[in-house]
Amino acid sequence: MTRSEDDLRKDDLRRKIIGLSETSHRKSYYPQLKEQINELSIAMDALQESEDKYRTLVENVNIGIFRTEPWEGGRILQANPALWQTLGFESEEEILSHPVDDIYLHMENRAELMDKLKQFGKIKDYKMEFKVRDGSTILCSLTLSAEYDSEGNIKFVDGVAEDITEKEKKSEALRQANNKLNVLSSITRHDIVNQVMVLEGYLLLLEEKVTSPEQIELIQKMKGSIRSVDRHIMFTRDYQEIGINAPEWVNLRDALKDAMISLDNFQVNIHMEPQDYMVFTDPMVWKVFYNIGNNVVKHSQAKNLYISTDEQDNQLLVVFQDDGIGIEDKKKLFKKGSSSSGYGLFLSKEILSITGIDIRETGLPDEGARFEIIFPQGQYKPVQ
Amino acid sequence: MSGEKSDKTSNQSQGSLPTRKFSAPEIILGDGSRNLIGQYVNSLSGRNVLLVTDPGIIKAGWAGEIEDSISSEGIDVVVYDKVSSNPRSLEVMQGAELYEAAGCDLIVTIGGGSPMDCGKAIGAVASNQCNVLELEGVDEVALPAPPLICIPTTAGSSADVSQFAIITDEEKKRKFAIISKTMIADLALIDPETTVSMNPELTADTGLDALCHAFESYVSNASSVITDMYALEAAKLIVEYLPKAYDEPDNLVFRDKVMLGSMYAGLAFSNASLGLVHAMAHSLGGYLDSPHGECNAQLLCPVVRFNYPFASEKYKILEKAIVGENSSRSDGLDKLVRALEDLNEHLGIKPGLSRMGVKDDDIEHLSKNAFLDPCLATNPNPATVEDIERLYHDSL
Ligand SMILES: [Fe+2]
């Protein structure tokens, strides 16, 4: 007897309704739930592990880490050992029972700091003095960031405080030593220059009294020597100023203008065609521009000097092109005391190298000199 | 039994106890039991409840009362009342969306079969992350739904104790069944007091639905000794007390009895399934959106006639239970049908599907859908599409 498809379907359905081989579950024996609980407990273990890892890190790190309430009279809610130890507390509990305003050397500084935080949400590397319980003070570099609640009010302040007392002392000592050295060398230089002038005067008097051509020639040589001593002394003055000031963003056009105005120039037409850029460099950079300009005026016999910029391959070229006789021997151009330009180009290269900027001369002999100053990526940006 | 080795699930084997199972929710039954809702939401760890109901129940005040009870435990309640009298798939999906958006963790339904079926399906959709249409069939719900508490306010559908949820596929204008153990509530809070608010018409419709549950599960080819016990007792209680509750709506004793009968019928059909009456009623409800109870009431007598030769023994027992002993001589079938017709008449059900808007032209479509309904699988007389067409026709 053959049975129709419908009969088979109905039989199958009936068997399923009776349900002895059903696969679904009541909630009370819900295996998927058990699986989910297993997964959850694995995740919890992993979380615990990662929490332990970070806790160890926070506890062992040599920098103070803390969380405080933002308002005046607020408490310190969390502090790692580095913080409470640095501030001279015996335990975390002890520092937590201490009002946060009280650890600042000047309470009002904290209020100012909180105002800034409200405004910016974050404060980075801010120098701040704190009280240590033994009565001493420490200087910290403080970085704070605000944590907000759902209504946008500051809920906590999380902070990192690095004790920079020692570091600051050392760099202060270094600054003082440098100052002393500068003072010493400028006094000495001043004395030498005076003596050189006196010497020049005596030579002038002597020159009038001497008639023998041999002696006159000797006097001329002595005068040459004195000029050379004078140049050396002037170089020490210029070189002393290099690298004293931190590099900064300098307006390129302004620096070029300043340099060109300072030139003693009656013959060369200067064409200023640079784009507007800011360049990150030693503030002495104008001296480099001056040196190049001076070189053109003094030695190139050029009628025109073209100053332009050219941005290509992620670098910025500042180009000084003249239409003079050009430079034949380029090998020693930037060496100390090499050419007729004296120390100028050597100095220029030194100034630029402090911030990783290069200079080269690429002019063709018949087409005049061409100095290119190369600012790498990140050290130039358009003027905003 | 054709070529098969043995059919363990068949109940045609003589003299032995066929292997059957019986599933039921935790049941709390009794007047005022609805007041325990807060306690039980708590014990099921609900913190944010989706309360599924319908506008009628809100108007009657039951939904508000339950909402207040739950809130007073400090538990959040989100109300979903966009449920039609034949709940639609879109309503289920919207409910599931609300359940997720509001971060709910437990479902409470209060109302008749519609909010209960809708709430059950919402739970299954929420945990299985699918369209409700994908859950159609028997044992097709892979993941259990979140905790569910059902509070029935009608004495009929008994969705609160059953593993059935009937949803309308509004696009195809048909009803489909989700039959799964996951559709069984965690708790049925059955409080007959809530049925007092039913008007006579609804009392009749829902009560006759319950009677059909009793009849169909009793003669089902998947019935068991356990379901038989419940089905027979249900038939007795409903036939005796439904007309009384209809006549005296405020008599709580009658309401209690009808509710009890409905619950017994629910436990029976949940485990033994139903038959041709429901297959045809589901098709009608899906196509014409007709009230489920009234469809059943119109179809029970013709189907009893159609099935009688295939389950006469059981029908005789039903007859004895309903009509009494003293008439064993007369023709059983006619007597039984007459008793049912009398009941319909008492309850104000006028015969004729045409009065419900069914037309000759609808019958072909209706019959096709009824033929595919899973309830047909357990009908004692294996009906063909033509049989069904004829039955619709005769019931016009
Ligand atoms: Fe029903």
Mind listing the pLDDT tens digit of every residue in chain A (384 residues)? Answer: 467 888 888 888 888 888 777 777 666 555 566 677 788 889 999 999 999 998 888 888 889 999 999 888 888 999 999 999 999 999 999 999 888 888 898 888 888 889 999 888 899 989 999 999 988 999 999 999 999 998 988 999 999 999 999 998 888 888 888 888 878 888 888 888 889 889 989 988 988 888 889 988 888 888 888 888 887 787 777 777 776 777 889 999 999 998 888 887 778 899 999 999 999 988 888 888 988 888 888 888 889 999 999 998 899 999 999 998 888 877 778 877 654 555 678 878 888 888 889 999 998 877 889 999 999 998 899 987
Q: Would you tell me how many other CB atoms lie within 10 Å of the CB of residue A253?
A: 17
Last residue of some domain: A128, A163, A198? A163
pLDDT in tens, B129-158: 999 999 999 999 988 899 999 999 999 999
Structure tokens at B135: 């859950």
Q: Same structural domain for residues A263 and A213?
A: no
Residues A372, A373, A376, A381, CA torsion sign: negative
Q: Same structural domain for residues A269 and A362?
A: yes
Q: Same structural domain for residues A84 and A120?
A: yes
- Asked if A19 and B19 come within 8 Å (Cβ–Cβ), the reply is no
Structure tokens at A342: 């004296």
Q: Same structural domain for residues A55 and A66?
A: no
Last residue of some domain: A142, A163, A184? A163
What distance in Å separates the CA atoms of residue A116 and residue A309, rounded to the nearest whole number?
Answer: 40
Query: For residue A304, which amino acid is it?
Result: N
Q: Same structural domain for residues A219 and A291?
A: no
Count interface pairs A-B at CB distance under 8 A: 66
Which chain A residues have a beta carbon less than 8 Å from that of B21? 18-20
- Asked if A18 and B21 come within 8 Å (Cβ–Cβ), the reply is yes
Last residue of some domain: A163, A187, A211? A163
Give B14's pLDDT tier (boundaries 50, 70, 90): low
Contact, B51 vs B118, CB < 8 A?
A: no
Q: Same structural domain for residues A276 and A341?
A: yes
What distance in Å separates the CA atoms of residue A83 and residue A163, rounded to the nearest whole number?
Answer: 9
Min Cα–Cα distance to chain B from A34, Å: 13
Q: Same structural domain for residues A44 and A158?
A: no
SS3 A135: coil
pTM, two decimals, is 0.59
Q: Same structural domain for residues A13 and A88?
A: no
Residue B364 class from Cβ within 10 Å (0-12 exposed, 13-18 middle, 19+ buried)?
exposed
Q: Domain count for chain A, please give it.
A: 4
Longest dimension (CA), chain B: 64
* Domains contained in chain B, CATH given: 26-194 (3.40.50.1970), 198-395 (1.20.1090.10)
What distance in Å separates the CA atoms of residue A215 and residue A222, rounded to the nearest whole number?
Answer: 11
What distance in Å separates the CA atoms of residue A237 and residue A175, rounded to the nearest whole number?
Answer: 18
Q: Kindly list the distances between the CA atom of residue B355 and the CA atoms of A146, A318, B290, B359, B395, in Å, as whole numbers in the listed order.
A: 73, 98, 11, 9, 10
pLDDT in tens, B84-102: 999 999 999 999 999 999 9
A213 touches chain B (CB under 8 A): no
B182 touches chain A (CB under 8 A): yes
What distance in Å separates the CA atoms of residue B42 and residue A276, rounded to the nearest whole number?
Answer: 72
Residue A235 class from Cβ within 10 Å (0-12 exposed, 13-18 middle, 19+ buried)?
middle
Query: For residue B191, which amino acid is it?
Result: D
Residues A98, A104, A105, A111, CA torsion sign: negative
Interface test with B, best of A1, A3, A15, A17 (most B CBs within 10 A): A17
- Asked if B139 and A32 come within 8 Å (Cβ–Cβ), the reply is no
Kindly provide the residue ranges of all beta strands, DSSP E only, lying in A257-367, ordered along the sequence. Answer: 269-273, 277-281, 304-312, 315-322, 358-361
Q: Same structural domain for residues A91 and A159?
A: yes
Residues in chain A: 384
CATH number of the domain where residue A152 is located: 3.30.450.20
Question: Which residues of chain A from 29 to 68 reach within 8 Å of chain B, CB to CB?
Answer: 30, 32
- Asked if B144 and A7 come within 8 Å (Cβ–Cβ), the reply is no
pLDDT in tens, B158-186: 999 999 999 999 999 999 999 999 999 99
Interface test with A, best of B2, B17, B44, B182 (most A CBs within 10 A): B182
The candidate with the shortest Cα–Cα distance to B30, out of B151, B186, B120, B114, is B151
Q: What residues make up the domain containing A361?
A: 248-382
- Asked if A14 and B222 come within 8 Å (Cβ–Cβ), the reply is yes
Q: Same structural domain for residues A98 and A177?
A: no
Contact, A144 vs A109, CB < 8 A?
A: no
Please check the confidence at residue B117 and state whether its pLDDT lies above 50. Answer: yes
A11 touches chain B (CB under 8 A): yes
Q: Same structural domain for residues A319 and A355?
A: yes
Q: Same structural domain for residues A263 and A352?
A: yes
